[in-house]
Chains A and B, each alone.
Chain A
Amino acid sequence: GAVVSQHPSRVICKSGTSVKIECRSLDFQATTMFWYRQFPKKSLMLMATSNEGSKATYEQGVEKDKFLINHASLTLSTLTVTSAHPEDSSFYICSAIGQGQSYNSPLHFGNGTRLTVT
C-alpha cells in the first residue's frame, strides 16, 4: 500500500532556530501533499496544501513566512519552521495523494514529527 515517511520523528531545538521536516512518498508519486498540526488532545488542523512545482496554499491564520513549504519533487515535500518559538511545539503530520488518485481517495499519513522548542 501507499507509504508516507516523515523525518525526523522527534526533534528538539532552541528558540530562534529553524527546523526542517521532510515528508516522502515511498512507493508512489505524490502530486499533492498536506501538512497538518495536532495540538495535545486536539484534532488535526490543516496548515497548508502543496502541489509539486507550485507554491503552497495556506489555510487562514497560518503564517506562510513562519512555516515554509517546499514541494520540489513528486516524492518530497518539506516544512521548515523558521525562528521557532515554544508555542510552535506541536505534532506535525503530513499526508499525500498519489498521481492518478481521485480527489476523494483516502489520504495516507506519515508517522508525524514531534517538535519541541525550548
Chain B
Amino acid sequence: GEDVEQSLFLSVREGDSSVINCTYTDSSSTYLYWYKQEPGAGLQLLTYIFSNMDMKQDQRLTVLLNKKDKHLSLRIADTQTGDSAIYFCAGLTGTASKLTFGTGTRLQVTL
C-alpha cells in the first residue's frame, strides 16, 4: 500500500510563512489533499490538488506538487495563531476508500 510521510512538528512565529512537507510512495495517486485538525475535532478539508497540476493557490494557502520526487508541500502565508493545529496530507489512489493519510504535522504558532 501507499506510505505517506510527514515531519512531526513545526514551529513558526506569527506573521511568518509556514511550509509543511509530505512525501508519498504511490505515483498513481490521482488527488492529494491537505486537511487541518484542531484539538479534539474532526478533519477540515483545506485544499486539494490534482496530480496533473504543479501548483495551486487559494488565498493564504499554496500547494506545490513535485511528482518526480513524490513531494507535496503546503505553504501558509502570514501564519496566525488560529493556524495552530495538526495538518494531514492524504493521497487518493482509486476510490475514496483508498485515501491514505500521512502521519500529521503539528504546527505551533508563537507570538
Residues of chain A touching chain B, judged by Cβ–Cβ distance below 8 Å, are 4, 6, 9, 32, 34, 41-44, 46, 49, 57, 93, 95, 97, 103-112, 114
Q: Which residues of B contact A42 (CB under 8 A)?
A: 103-104
Q: Which residues of B contact A49 (CB under 8 A)?
A: 97
Among residues of B, the one whose C-beta sits closest to the C-beta of A96 is B96
A-B contact count (CB 8 A): 56
Is there contact, CB below 8 Å, between B42 and A43?
Answer: no
How far apart are the CA atoms of A57 and B96 in the complex, in Å?
Answer: 13
How far apart are the CA atoms of A95 and B101 in the complex, in Å?
Answer: 14
Is there contact, CB below 8 Å, between B43 and A103?
Answer: no
CB within 8 A of A46: which of B4, B31, B99? B99
Is there contact, CB below 8 Å, between A93 and B42?
Answer: yes
Residues of chain B touching chain A, judged by Cβ–Cβ distance below 8 Å, are 4, 8, 30-31, 33, 35, 40-45, 48, 88, 92, 94-97, 99, 101-104
How far apart are the CA atoms of A43 and B95 in the complex, in Å?
Answer: 19
Is there contact, CB below 8 Å, between B30 and A107?
Answer: no
Known: A34-B97, A103-B95, A104-B30. A43 touches B103 (CB 8 A): yes
Is there contact, CB below 8 Å, between B96 and A34?
Answer: yes
28 A-B contacts, Cβ less than 8 Å apart?
Answer: A4-B42, A32-B96, A34-B96, A41-B104, A42-B103, A43-B4, A43-B88, A43-B101, A43-B102, A43-B103, A44-B88, A46-B97, A46-B99, A57-B97, A95-B43, A97-B96, A104-B30, A104-B92, A105-B96, A106-B33, A106-B45, A107-B45, A107-B96, A107-B99, A108-B45, A112-B40, A112-B41, A114-B40
